[in-house]
Every structure is written in C-alpha cells, then in structure tokens.
Structure 1
C-alpha cells in the first residue's frame, strides 16, 4: 500500500483544542483525519454537516 501525506491549515488555538479533545479519547489527530477520509470514500459524502 502506498501512503501520502496530507496537510491542512487551521488556527493554532483550534488545532490545540481539537488535539486535546482527541487526546482525551485516545485518538491522534492523524487517526481522526484518516478515519474521516476513509468514511468519505466509503459513503461518497462528508460525514458531517458543512
């Protein structure tokens, strides 16, 4: 399997807040993003309201 790196820009404060929430659930930011992208490919849609 070939891997790629994905990067995104986000406000530093929001990134730290999100990381703290994910950390409390035992999930890394990378794993959360990976899960979201996999769900998009499985459903053909974004898994939350935009």
Structure 2
C-alpha cells in the first residue's frame, strides 16, 4: 500500500522531490517496509507524553 501511494504521488506530481516518512523506532515491521523501499533515516523526533 505504501509503495503504491508513493508511485501515485510521483505520477500525479512529476516535479515532486523526495518524500518524508516518520516511523517509531519500536515499529520494526514498518521500518523493514521503509528499508525495502529504499528510505534512509534523515532525522530524529522526540515525543513526550504527560499523563494527568
């Protein structure tokens, strides 16, 4: 599904540059998908949650 979405984006927007995706380090399955699609890590995001 992700690969097809990328193909459609490039088809519909031929001048589109690279795409950015965010995946949690703990999501091993999606990280493997991203690796298979040729995605490379470019940044790190930190999220914090405060339980009230």
Larger relative CO (CA 8 A, sep 6+): 1 or 2? Answer: 2
**Which of the pair is proportionally richer in helix?**
1
Q: Which has the larger radius of gyration?
A: 2
Q: TM-score, normalised by structure 2?
A: 0.30
Q: TM-score, normalised by structure 1?
A: 0.31
